[in-house]
Amino acid sequence: MTTRALLRKAALTFPEVNEEVHDGRVVFSVRGKQFASVTAEGTVHLRLPDAEADEAIAAYPRAEQLLHAGRQIGLSAPLSHVDGQHLWHLVMTAWKHRAPTRLAANLDAILESPNQPGSDLPTSIGKAATRALATAGVTTLDQVATHSRAELLAMHGVGPKAVRILSDALAEKGKTLR
């Protein structure tokens, strides 16, 4: 079952995301543009390009078009009915759809090659963890040391194994997590 916590974790994976509560809804925005929200009743609203919204609506029987002034602007669906892995993809698509062009292009570059020049992160943490850290602007062990275990685990793609490997690599340098 997909939860609010999973939605929050997915949304906060991306750069420059603000989380606010408006009229009982938790709203996620990038540079002032809303890309995702969830109502008190558990309905997720995602601002998506038409093609992606249509695909998601076809995939989920209880999903509907999200409309504004009679025009489709995305997807509305019970959060508990959306597959967790697919939710992350939908949130990323919504973020990229609403983010400024350069910011979205930076994310695309990270997704294509998460190993950034000058990075000393161990490759054994895996591509998903490397990508999650790079998306958050963390590309060195010194930057990892400024985060707590809980903060790292809150990043979509960073699991306990990656945190253990990062902790071991920091220990070799005489450092620890915050």
The structure's pTM equals 0.74
The length of the chain, given as a count of residues: 178
Confidence check: pLDDT of 62 > 90? yes
Sheet holding 71-78, edge to edge: 17-22, 25-30, 33-38, 43-47, 71-78, 64-68
Tell me, yes or no, if the two domains 4-101 and 110-172 fold the same way: no
More confidently predicted of 19 and 13: 19
Q: What is the mean pLDDT of the chain?
A: 92
Query: Residue 8 in 3-state DSSP?
Result: helix
HSE, side-chain direction, 13 A CA sphere, residue 170: 20
More confident position, 40 or 116: 40
The domain locations on the chain are 4-101, 110-172
Dist. CA 20–CA 25, nearest whole Å: 8
pLDDT at 114: 64
pLDDT at residue 132, rounded to an integer: 87
Cα separations in angstroms, 104 against 31, 50, 55, 109, 132: 12, 18, 21, 9, 15
Q: What is the pLDDT of residues 26-41, one digit of tens each?
A: 999 999 999 999 999 9
CATH classification of 110-172 is 3.40.1000, yes or no? no
Work out the average pLDDT over 156-177: 94
Q: What is the pLDDT of residue 121?
A: 92
Which is higher by pLDDT, 117 or 141? 141
* Domain 4-101 class, CATH top level: alpha beta
Determine the straight-line distance between the first and last CA of the chain, rounded to whole angstroms: 32
Amino acid at 85: Q
